[in-house]
């Protein structure tokens, strides 16, 4: 209440001054005196109005933020309803599994009687198993030899196919050159006829000689030989290899572009024991804690894509789907105690839960190797098929978990 009182005092002061002078005009001294009184009063009022305007702007911004939060809340409730529906389906599946479990228990009672007989046959099976193992080792040696020969044959077939494609291109170019030569000869004949007409009109003033009219032959200057060069065709590769086959460095950072995707970075890897042409998909250290992220993060990819030894990242499920569906890829799992490789690794799309659609010919197997048909799981999207548990949440990272991995012995 200080400003209004001061303002009223100033008004009374001015009014009193005006009453004494009985004039509508003030002298310069009176104007200066009035300014010295009013300015300290009006200036805080102006500042007050300025801050009021700032607060009004902040209030408008808060209202806009509140509206956006309301929208986010609606989206959250929609996602909650979808999760409730999934939970209801899981409960239904769980009750079906309980029924199947009771049926299996009744069957186990019947099978228990056969266990004693199976134990008697076990010793015989052990003996036969040792014989089979011996034969299997011999067959593995033969298979390795056949596989090596098969690879040589495949390489030879690929080389021959390339030669066939090259020959086809050469044949096509020769056909084009042949057609071009025919058109060139026809063009020369047309030019020669045109030259005859021009020469008749220019030399004989549109009056050809009798012999020329009778024979139809006009002496012409032969055209010079025209050398036609054709540009060799360049083969367009729609889906190139992400990493070079002749890489010398251990790790190289490259940017690639796939149809339908924005350019993204990959880390190419090369080693003496496995060769070149590899790129990292899932690079994680055993004590890492950055891989316990949402399903959406795994879908788009995350981490620091670099060539340092401690860099950790995941390329992204959507990119992995496009890569493995574009052409066959071999996958290598670098886990303890030794790496394992599998051929023709194919990952489905989002509608399929990014499941492993194909994986085979693995050189080894343990609990971390994905099984064909398993879907990708995270702590916020459980697809492991184990009732009452979330293996991704327990492990602290996303992976293609399945029921066989429920007895995890270590952290990947």
Residue-wise pLDDT tens digits, 262-289: 999 999 999 988 889 999 999 998 888 8
Rounded mean pLDDT of the chain?
Answer: 78
Pick left, alpha or beta for residue 72 (phi over 0 → left; psi -120 to 50 → alpha; otherwise beta): alpha
Interacting residues of 37 by C-beta distance below 8 A, sequence separation 6+: 10, 13
Least confident of 144-148, 193-197, 243-247, 390-394: 193-197
pLDDT in the model for residue 2: 45
The pLDDT assigned to 32 comes to 78
Tokens of 204: 């004989």
Q: Above pLDDT 70, what percent of the chain?
A: 78
With a cut of 70, say whether residue 323 has pLDDT above it.
Answer: yes
Q: Which of 317, 340, 343 is nearest to 328 (CA)?
A: 343
Q: In what order do the strands lie in the sheet with 313-314?
A: 282-283, 313-314, 302-303
pLDDT of residue 131: 86
Phi and psi, residue 346, nearest 5°: -130, 130
Q: What is the mean pLDDT of residues 221-236?
A: 36
Q: Terminal CA-to-CA distance of the chain, rounded, Å?
A: 71
Q: pLDDT by residue (tens digit) across 202-226? A: 444 444 444 333 333 434 333 344 3
Q: How far apart are CA 365 and CA 359, in angstroms?
A: 12
Q: What is the average pLDDT across 232-260?
A: 73
Residue with tokens 């599946």: 93
The percent of residues in the chain predicted with pLDDT above 90, rounded, is 25
Quick count: other Cβ atoms within 10 Å of Cβ 2? 8
Task: Check: CB of residue 229 under 8 Å from CB of residue 209.
Answer: no
Any idea which of 143-152, 169-178, 205-214 has the lowest mean pLDDT?
205-214
pLDDT digits (tens, 9 = 90+) for 65-120: 888 888 888 888 888 888 888 888 888 988 888 888 888 888 878 887 788 788 88
Please give the average per-residue pLDDT across 240-269, as a whole number. 89
d(C-alpha 34, C-alpha 15), whole Å? 11
**Greater model confidence, 197 or 276:** 276
Residue 315 has pLDDT above 90, yes or no: yes
Q: Place 320 in a pLDDT band, splitting at 50, 70 and 90.
A: very high
pLDDT of residue 240: 66
């Amino acid at each position: 209440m200080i400003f209004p009182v001061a303002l009223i005092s100033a008004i009374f002061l001015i009014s009193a001054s005006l009453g004494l002078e009985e004039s509508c005009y003030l002298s310069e001294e009176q104007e200066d005196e009035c300014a010295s009184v009013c300015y300290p009063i009006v200036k805080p009022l102006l500042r007050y109005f300025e801050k009021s305007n700032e607060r009004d702007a902040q209030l408008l911004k808060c209202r806009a933020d509140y509206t956006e939060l309301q929208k986010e809340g609606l989206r959250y409730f929609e996602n909650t309803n979808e999760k409730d529906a999934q939970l209801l389906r899981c409960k239904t599946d769980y009750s079906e599994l309980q029924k199947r479990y009771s049926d299996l228990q009744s069957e186990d009672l019947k099978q228990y009687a056969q266990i004693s007989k199976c134990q008697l046959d076990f010793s015989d099976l052990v003996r036969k198993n040792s014989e089979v193992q011996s034969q299997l080792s011999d067959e593995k040696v033969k298979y390795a030899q056949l596989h090596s020969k098969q690879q040589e044959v495949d390489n030879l077939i690929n080389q021959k196919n390339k030669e066939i494609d090259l020959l086809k291109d050469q044949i096509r170019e020769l056909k084009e050159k042949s057609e071009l030569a025919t058109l060139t000869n026809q063009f020369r004949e047309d030019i020669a006829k045109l030259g005859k007409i021009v020469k008749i009109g220019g030399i004989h003033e549109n009056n050809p000689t009798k012999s020329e009219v009778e024979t139809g032959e006009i002496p012409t200057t032969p055209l010079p030989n025209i050398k036609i060069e054709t540009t060799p065709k360049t083969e367009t590769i729609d889906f190139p290899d992400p990493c070079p086959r002749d890489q010398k460095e251990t790790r190289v950072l490259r940017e690639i572009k796939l149809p339908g995707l924005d350019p993204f970075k990959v880390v190419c890897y090369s080693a003496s024991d496995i060769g070149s042409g590899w790129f990292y998909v899932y690079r994680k250290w055993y004590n890492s804690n950055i891989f316990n992220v949402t399903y959406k993060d795994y879908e788009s990819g995350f981490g620091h894509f670099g060539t340092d030894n401690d860099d950790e990242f995941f390329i992204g499920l959507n990119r992995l789907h496009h890569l493995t569906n574009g052409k066959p890829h071999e996958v290598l799992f670098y886990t303890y105690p030794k790496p394992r490789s599998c051929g023709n690794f194919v990952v489905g799309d989002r509608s399929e839960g990014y499941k492993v659609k194909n994986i085979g010919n693995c050189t080894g197997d343990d609990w971390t190797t994905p099984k064909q048909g398993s879907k990708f799981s995270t702590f916020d999207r459980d697809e492991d098929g184990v009732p009452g548990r979330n293996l991704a949440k327990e492990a602290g990272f996303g992976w293609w978990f399945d029921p066989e991995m429920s007895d995890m012995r270590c952290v990947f």
